[in-house]
Amino acid sequence: MTLPESRFDYEAPVPDAGELGVVHFIAIGGAGMSGVARVMLAQGLTVTGSDARDSGVVTALAAAGAQVWIGHAAAHVDVADTVVISSAIREDNAELATARDRGLRVLHRSQALAATMSGASCRIAVAGANGKTTTTALFAHVLTALVQDPSFVVGGELIGQGPDLGGNARWGVGPHYLVEADESDGSFLVYRPHVAIVTSVQPDHLDYYGSAEVVVEAYRAFVSTIAAAGVLVVCLDDPGAADLGAWARAQGLRVVGYGTDPAADVRITQLSSAGLSSSATVRVGTTDYPLELPLPGDYNVRNAAAVVAAGAVGLGLDPGEIVRALREFRGVRRRFEHQGTVQGVDVVDDYAHNPAKVAAVVSTGRRIADERGARFVAVFQPHLFSRTREFAAGFGAALSAADVVRVLDVYAAREDPVPGVSGALVADAVRSVAPDRDVRFIPDSQELLDDLECLVAPGDLVCFIGAGDVNDLGPVLIRRLAATGTAPS
């Protein structure tokens, strides 16, 4: 079995960052692209970029020294030596087409990131269908607290605490360099980590891979890139990750398992959650360590246990110091992020975009709402037509535990519309699982906000879910409810 063809050769040698010259980023404001740009700026490289719209991220990059244009134009690559893109950038983009015509070096975002890692003697990569952003963020927090001057790039914005955390990237001169390794397009093969975490292996990104079997093959290829004498850390509670660990062990690789499974090297016991926090006991060897995490959900305890396993076994850090550092974690934007409370209504936002992630978010929201005797209102925006088509039934099952479900239309991202595929498929799937559920497909965001403004009542927990622009709606709802003076009862 072979992996899908790509525009990029992820097995080719990666140039050192110092060889890249002037680096131009197309869509520089993206979650992944902006982190690489920040590190390159910190390394002293000349960085330019363009983006379709202005944002706080774009403004911050400009303040850090990047020259940024709003809108795309061929002239933006006039002084570039290297152009960096993500898989979402199409070949007919004016800047990319010009770069190709001029024979400029074109790198995938992951290759550009790998170029910045050339001087790191301890490379750490976190992969997985679910939980990789939060796990990477937790690990970044721990490394910043416990080791000397680490570097990291995370696919989400850390909620900062002091000058060394906040944002999605940090450049340090220490030996440790931590990255979130995105599996969506096969680009996680470039990093050659010494320590790798795989949180889960599940069918996703089938628009690229085509089948679940090829997804498994891709993760095996990722494991095969781990450096000699390196360590693979896997979640034994996830069947796909557990199987990957067994396969890796058979290849002679050192494997460390974590989770509630009795066979785990780092075992979770006494797991509990209350409100927006959770706790557990984490056993490393024969010693138990109390873990108190300011994040809700069993899945986040597993993410934290991954950090304990990789930090203690992979890096030799003290487990007690790791769990103490984890208590101070502030969170990640768009990962069950509390956006505000108004008139007794709590509004949160989450980036979940595959069925397993959505199920975890809904389970957490359901528990919190039950604790307070209130309703959980889930507002879901499907991401990608291909994913919606493949997993509509799974999304329906995941959302059916909410008291109220509202579904927006599909956020297309890099895809063209697919006839017959819309958010209505997900709403219909919820009804098929829970016929009595209050569910509506509302493709217009303003109509949706009108509906929510009339619907919500004091005590309700409203969660906006999805990887598109649905996160913009929470603050608008908060402003609307504040303007009315009272939420409906």
d(C-alpha 170, C-alpha 440), whole Å: 42
Q: Count CB atoms within 10 A of the CB of residue 419.
A: 6
Strand partners, 82: 23, 105
Beta strands in 86-211 (DSSP E): 105-108, 122-127, 151-158, 167-170, 176-180, 195-198
d(C-alpha 159, C-alpha 166), whole Å: 5
Domain definitions of the chain by residue range: 17-109, 117-326, 337-484
Q: Is the pLDDT of residue 1 over 60?
A: no
Instruction: Categorize the per-residue pLDDT at 5 as very low, low, confident or very high, splitting at 50, 70 and 90.
Output: low
Return the SS3 of 109. Answer: helix
Amino acid at the residue 242: A
d(C-alpha 143, C-alpha 319), whole Å: 12
Instruction: Categorize the per-residue pLDDT at 2 as very low, low, confident or very high, splitting at 50, 70 and 90.
Output: low
pLDDT at res. 348: 87
For the ranges 141-145, 245-249, 273-277, which has the lowest average pLDDT? 273-277
Q: Is the pLDDT of residue 164 over 50?
A: no
Residues 6+ apart with CB under 8 A from 419: none
Render pLDDT for 46-63 as a digit per residue (tens, 0 to 9): 999 999 888 888 998 999
Using the 8-state DSSP alphabet, how is residue 383 labeled? Answer: B
pLDDT at res. 102: 96
| 219, 255, 277, 313 from 124: Cα distances, Å | 16, 15, 27, 13
Query: Which are the catalytic amino acids?
Result: 132-133, 180
Instruction: Identify the CATH number of the domain defined by range 17-109.
Output: 3.40.50.720
d(C-alpha 250, C-alpha 14), whole Å: 29
d(C-alpha 240, C-alpha 258), whole Å: 14
CATH class, 117-326 region: alpha beta
Segment 118-141 mean pLDDT: 91
Render pLDDT for 325-383 as a digit per residue (tens, 0 to 9): 998 887 666 777 888 888 888 898 988 888 988 988 898 888 888 888 889 999 999 98
Instruction: Identify the CATH number of the domain defined by range 337-484.
Output: 3.90.190.20
Render pLDDT for 259-300 as a digit per residue (tens, 0 to 9): 999 999 999 999 887 777 788 999 999 999 999 988 878 888
